[in-house]
Each structure stands twice: as C-alpha cells, then as structure tokens.
Structure 1
Amino acid sequence: MSLNQFKLVECPRDAMQGLHEFVPTALKAEYLNLLLQVGFDTLDFGSFVSPKAIPQMADTSEVLANLDLSSSSTKLLAIVANLKGVEGAVKHNEISYLGFPFSISETFQQRNTNSSIEQSLNTVEEMLSLCALNNKKAVVYLSMGFGNPYSDVWNYEIVEKWADVLVSKGVEIISIADTVGVSTPESITDILPKLITKFSNTEIGIHLHSTPAERFEKIDAAYNSGVKRIDSALKGFGGCPMAADDLTGNIATEDVLEYLTSKGENLNLNMDKWNEALNFSGRIFN
C-alpha cells in the first residue's frame, strides 16, 4: 500500500461520549488541541446531536470555538444523527466532514437515531445536499457492518446493497463500522476487499471495536485488505456501550501506529505531541 493512501482518523469524540462525568469544555479543547498537533488526517472531535441523548457532547460548538487550527493540517469531523444536527454542523466553516451513522440493522437505527433505515436514507440525501452547498464532505458509517446482537438478518449482500445505494446517492466516503465488536479477521478480509474492488472510486474505511487481545489481528486483517482509512482512539477508549464485553472498546491508536510502523509505513506524525496527548489523556479518562 502506498503511503499517501493512508488516512488515520483519531476519534476523541467516540472515546469521550460515554463518560458519565462531564468533561469541562476547556479541558476538552486542551486535549483536542494537542491531538491537532500530532498530524492525523482527521479528528472526529464532536457531535451535533441531542444533548439529552449524548450529554457529553452538548458543548461541541463551544469546544470548536476554542480549537487552534492555525498550524494544523488535520481536518475536523463532526457526527450528526438528523437534519437538525446537519444544519447545525454545516454552519461552522472549520468543519470539513459530517459523519452519519447509517445502520444496516433496523433495530439499531431506531435505537441510535430514532428513525428507520428509509428515513435515515432521506437524511443522508439532505445531508449530501447541504454538504455540497457548504463545502463539506459526508462520511457515512455503515454501522452494525459485521453483524448485530438483535437477530436482524445480516450477510455480506446486505452490506454491499446499502453501500451500493449510498454510492448511487453520491456518498464518496464509507466507513464500515463494527459497532459491537463482532468482527473477526476472517470477516474483515472477506468483506473489505470485495467492497474496495467493487467501489474503486469510493474511499472505504473501517471503524472497528475490539477487545485488547484481538486488536492486532483485526488491524492486520484490515491492512492486508487494502483499507484506505482507519479510525482509532488513543488507548482504545470508548466504544459502544451496548457491547456485551466491558473490554470491547475502540481500536487503540498506539496499536495502529505500532503496526503500521512495523510495516515500514512513514506516518509523518509528531510523536512528541502524541506522547503529550497520551500523558494528558489521564486528565480526561480517569
């Protein structure tokens, strides 16, 4: 894989959103400002969703106002769950990407965004229109992309079908999300190469959840599948609260960095700032 294909997406929003104790706005901003200096392609920094649903992200606009983007090449991504969120996010010039969780499990789509898959497809279409008008790009996460805990029917054909629909609507970036950590190296290497081959003009990424013991084998499977972008979070914080295993969290960024470095990839990151962020994270995540 050529070096310039790699897009590393650091996800402090995903890491923080489930914390029960509210992290002060200034502290969030200080942490994000450190991460902005590391050199990741993208920072999934916040979300424009109902504060009742995700209280931790209620101050995303205030956090954004305290970010120093003057010396960072990192682009900002914000998660949205409905049209109101889209309209709130596109007002901010500093945001490059809007991310939408599009579940291929009907049960999870209702639980996560209080809408059906078909209603969510309408939201995606409206998001694409507003992104085009406001110089933004949409990132659509195919959540429950490797299966679900609700007994909703899942197979590769369903994944491909919805990827096909989204690409036909104009989505240029799709991230396959393992919402509850059920992916295996085998399922990753079965699904990703097929999607990457079929949708060769689409940026296909991966957002995995995992137990610590399984992280490296999942990263290895994604890398060998030719994936173009990898989401991760410092120390593997966060993950889906509905995962049955308390150890299931995000893929740890340090594991991704270690793996890619072992493969000879030149990541061009400021490791001094990365180590500062690692040390600082203890003030966010007790």
Structure 2
Amino acid sequence: MKIIECPRDAMQGIKDFIPTEAKVKYINQLLKVGFDTIDFGSFVSPKAIPQMADTAQVLAGLELDKSSSKLLAIIANTRGAEEAAKYAQIDYLGFPLSVSETFQQRNTNKSIAEAMQQLAEIQDICQKHNRTLVTYISMGFGNPYGDAWDVETVIGFVRELDKLQVKIVSLSDTIGVATPENITYLFTHLIPAFAHIEFGAHLHTTPTAWQEKVEAAYRAGCRRFDGALRGYGGCPMAKDELVGNMPTENMISYFENIGVDLQLNKAALQAAMAESGAVFL
C-alpha cells in the first residue's frame, strides 16, 4: 500500500502566497511520517501557478536524509521536465494528461494531441535522467465541459501510455464526480489488463463521499492513493470553485480499520496535522 501525500495540491490554489519557510517546515514534518511519496511542488509557469514559484528554494530546505519518503514534482511541458530532472533529490515527475480537450487546454495550454507528443518527450527525459514518470489521467471520471467521456476512452488513453512505457498511471477525479461504480469498473478492468503498470487513485471529494470512493478503489485492487491532510486544496484550473482533496487522515483511518498496516509514525502524523493548520488557516 502506498500513500502519496500531496502538499503541492493542497497549496497551489491558495491565493495568498505561503512563505517559503512555512512550506519547508511543513513538508519537513510530512517527511517524518513515513508516506511513500511527497508531491511537494511543481516546475510550471509562475504566471499559471504563482504559489509554486519557489519550488526550487523549497527543495533546497528539505531534510531528505532523515526520511524514507520519495519526492514527486509536477511538470506541464518539456521545459519543466528538464528543469526538474536537474535535481537528483526528485524521484518522480508527474504530468497531467486529460481526457477532456477543454481541460487540457485550460491546465497546460495545449491540445490532447500536443500533450501526448510532449509526454513522449518527457518520458525520454525521465529515462535519460533515471527518473520515473507518473501520468495523471485528469478528468478521468467525467468533466463539467460537455466533452465526451466514457470508460472505454480512459482505457484507450492507458493503451497509448503503455506504448510509451509509462509505469505509473493515476486516475484523477479532478472535480469530484467519480462514483463507486465507475471507480470499480475502471480499476477492475485496467489492473488485470495492464499488470505491469502501477495504477493509482487521485480522488477529489466532497466531505460526505470520501469513504465510498476509497473503498471502491481498494476493493477493485488499487494500492496507490493520493491525499492531502484535512482535504485542503484541489485543482485551481478545474472550475471556479474547488472540490477538496481526499483527506489523508480519513484514508489512514479507513485502511487501519480494515487491518492494513501502513507503518506510519503516528506522532509525526499528529504533528503534521497541527502544522497544517498553521500553514493553511
């Protein structure tokens, strides 16, 4: 079981700039918990996501020698991939690929066809620099723009990613519309069909729907889950209002209640929960 903690996703939509020192302090606390991976920042245009303009400075302040967690950075083009690949501390580069043409334009200022071409170039950069590409299938459970969506379309995208030898694919419920039914269908069809790919669930949610989504993905065989403490954040490019991230503490409680040993440092987790209040409130 892998829990991916996403302070980047929690922070990126906040209008007021969070001081670099506060980000460093918070992420250093998260690094003590024992999460598999920390999605800590992004190398994207500061005009698009001003909150992440200091990602390189944040990285310089992280105490990685004291942690087993790996680092993931989001990129939106080859320039960002080349920049992120310069830092040996970063293990994963994450790229958002949307099944919605409208959202792909809004999120990365390119068409799906252009994004696929960039993805091939980014995969080449990752392979040359011994990094692992994580591809997020954004709007993977539907979209608010009226763009065509069905489960076969999502499966078709995975086939294309498989041709590029992408090893990690995370299905993203960008606007919180996933249902237990389509979560179950996608994971139960994708996991056996592409056994060599690690599938993840990046589920945004309303406060009342989180458990049915986590439960559906877990029962369907998913063993990689993204979350953010207290459910802060969401995608600022999705619509005018934000749908919150999956609360990490809720997922932890669910998995522990069904007997999954996540091997997390509970004292460090509680300290991170307290620190999150200072960062986001």
Q: Check the 8 A contact 1:234/1:254 in 2, yes or no.
A: yes
CA distance in structure 1 between the partners assigned to 2:170 and 2:139 by the alignment: 11
Matched, 1:204 2:165: no
CA distance in structure 1 between the partners assigned to 2:204 and 2:113 by the alignment: 26
CA distance in structure 2 between the partners assigned to 1:242 and 1:25 by the alignment: 23
What is the CA distance between 1:82 and its match in structure 2? 0.8
CA distance in structure 1 between the partners assigned to 2:244 and 2:106 by the alignment: 19
Q: Check the 8 A contact 1:212/1:247 in 2, yes or no.
A: no
What is the CA distance between 1:167 and its match in structure 2? 0.8
What is the CA distance between 1:283 and its match in structure 2? 1.3
Instruction: State the TM-score, normalized to the length of structure 1.
Output: 0.96
Amino acid at match of 1:22: F
SS at match of 1:73: coil
Matched, 1:230 2:236: no
CA distance in structure 1 between the partners assigned to 2:276 and 2:104 by the alignment: 31
Q: Deviations over 1:83-121 (max 9, x none)?
A: 111111000000000000000111100110001111111
Structure 1 residue runs of 4+, over 4 Å off? 242-247
CA distance in structure 1 between the partners assigned to 2:165 and 2:238 by the alignment: 31
Q: Deviations over 1:52-105 (max 9, x none)?
A: 000000000000000000111100000000111111100000000000000011
Q: Which residue of 1 aligns with 2:99?
A: 104
SS at match of 2:209: helix
What is the CA distance between 1:197 and its match in structure 2? 1.2
Q: Which residue of 2 aligns with 1:45?
A: 40
CA distance in structure 1 between the partners assigned to 2:259 and 2:239 by the alignment: 36
Q: Which residue of 1 aligns with 2:24?
A: 29
CA distance in structure 2 between the partners assigned to 1:48 and 1:146 by the alignment: 26
Q: Which residue of 2 aligns with 1:193?
A: 188
What is the CA distance between 1:243 and its match in structure 2? 5.7
Q: Check the 8 A contact 2:236/2:242 in 1, yes or no.
A: no
CA distance in structure 1 between the partners assigned to 2:241 and 2:120 by the alignment: 35
CA distance in structure 1 between the partners assigned to 2:73 and 2:98 by the alignment: 17
Q: Which residue of 2 aligns with 1:168?
A: 163
Q: Deviations over 1:110-157 (max 9, x none)?
A: 110001111111111111111111110000000000011111110011
Q: Check the 8 A contact 1:9/1:43 in 2, yes or no.
A: yes
CA distance in structure 1 between the partners assigned to 2:254 and 2:243 by the alignment: 19
Q: Check the 8 A contact 2:233/2:242 in 1, yes or no.
A: no
Instruction: State the TM-score, normalized to the length of structure 2.
Output: 0.98
What is the CA distance between 1:240 and its match in structure 2? 2.5
Q: Which residue of 2 aligns with 1:138?
A: 133
CA distance in structure 2 between the partners assigned to 1:245 and 1:138 by the alignment: 29
Matched, 1:9 2:4: yes
What is the CA distance between 1:248 and its match in structure 2? 2.4
Mind listing any 5+ residue stretches in structure 2 that lack a counterpart?
Answer: none
CA distance in structure 2 between the partners assigned to 1:149 and 1:22 by the alignment: 28
Residue 214 of structure 1: which of 209, 216, 221 is its match? 209
Range with greater deviation from structure 2 (185-194 or 12-21) = 185-194
CA distance in structure 2 between the partners assigned to 1:193 and 1:214 by the alignment: 20
Matched, 1:252 2:247: yes
CA distance in structure 2 between the partners assigned to 1:82 and 1:261 by the alignment: 38
Matched, 1:116 2:111: yes
Matched, 1:82 2:61: no
CA distance in structure 2 between the partners assigned to 1:194 and 1:207 by the alignment: 17
Q: Check the 8 A contact 2:173/2:204 in 1, yes or no.
A: yes
Rate the CA distance shift 1:260–1:245 in 2: closer, same or farther, 3 A: farther
Mind listing any 5+ residue stretches in structure 1 that lack a counterpart?
Answer: 1-5
CA RMSD, 1 decimal: 1.2
CA distance in structure 2 between the partners assigned to 1:244 and 1:13 by the alignment: 18
